[in-house]
Amino acid sequence: MGQLLRVAWATVGRVVARVAADAEQAADRFDGLRRIGIDEIACKKGHKYLTVVVDHDTRRLVWAAPGRDVATLGRFFDALGEQRCAQVRLVSADAAGWIAVTVAARCPGATLCADPFHVAGVGHRRAG
C-alpha cells in the first residue's frame, strides 16, 4: 500500500495523529454530559481492561483508558472537571465497588443505577 500511494506508514501515522488532534480540539465530547454509563471491557488476554464512559443521550463513547480502578476512573472525572461533574445526574454501571466509590466522591448529585445489561443478567439467572 505504501508503494502504491508513495507514502511511508510512518507518514500515514503522523497524518492520522494530526487529524485526530484537530478533531479533538474542534469538538468537546464532554459538553452537556448529564447521563453517562461506565463499564470495563477486556481488551487483551491476561486480564487487561479498558474503562469506558458513554454518553447515554448521544449514544457515543466519550472516554476510554486502560485500567479498571478508582485511579483510572478518577482520570476521567479530572478531565471532566468539577463544574461538569456537578452537572452529571445519572450514572449507570455494574455493581463494581470502585465505580460506586468514585461516582459518590466525584458526582455527589448523581444517581447511580444498574445498567440494563446487568439488570437483565440478574433477572435471567433468577428465572433459570
For residues 36 and 86, membership in a common domain is answered with yes
CA–CA dist 103, 37 (Å, integer): 11
Number of domains in the chain: 2
pLDDT band at 13 (very low <50, low <70, confident <90, very high): confident
The secondary structure element, H or E, covering residue 28 is none
The span from the first CA to the last CA of the chain, in angstroms, equals 53
- Measured in whole angstroms, the distance separating CA 13 from the mean position of its chain's CA atoms is 24
Please check whether residue 98 is in contact with residue 68, taking contact to mean a CB–CB distance below 8 angstroms: yes
Task: Output 13 or 33, whichever has higher pLDDT.
Answer: 33
Spatial CA neighbour of 52 closest among 9, 100, 99, 15: 99
Q: What is the CATH number of the domain that holds 54?
A: 3.30.420.10
For residues 77 and 37, membership in a common domain is answered with yes
For residues 48 and 12, membership in a common domain is answered with no
Name the residue range of residue 25's domain: 1-29
For residues 62 and 94, membership in a common domain is answered with yes
Q: 116 CB contacts (<8 Å, ≥6 apart)? A: 92
Q: pLDDT tens, 75-100?
A: 999 999 999 999 999 999 998 999 99
What's the mean per-residue pLDDT of the chain? 85
